[in-house]
Amino acid sequence: MSLKSECEASIYSFAPLHKQLNSQILGEYSEYVGIVITLHREEYEVQKAKGDSTFVLSDAAKKLLTDTSPFK
């Protein structure tokens, strides 16, 4: 897998596509979905600039997203 595809898979693990679509269309959980995407986007850009080939989300970010997830 590539850096990009690993990042996308990580995003989907916290905010599945159907939840993202509902967020966009209906406004459901839009704040959480926005945080998921923003954290991943920022981390992706850092790792891409460093030339990393594997995407890794920090433990702190994982904990934040897990603890605040409305999809429990």
* Structure confidence by residue, pLDDT tens digits, 23-72: 999 999 999 999 999 999 999 999 999 999 999 999 999 999 999 999 97
**Structure token digits, residue 22:** 């509902």
**Structure token digits, residue 16:** 């599945």
Domains of the chain, residue spans: 3-66
Q: How far apart are the C-alpha atoms of 5 and 27, rounded to whole Å?
A: 26
Phi-psi region of 40 (alpha: psi -120 to 50; beta: other; left: phi over 0): alpha
For the cut 80, the answer to whether the pLDDT of residue 8 exceeds it is yes
pLDDT at residue 50 in the model: 97
For the cut 80, the answer to whether the pLDDT of residue 13 exceeds it is yes
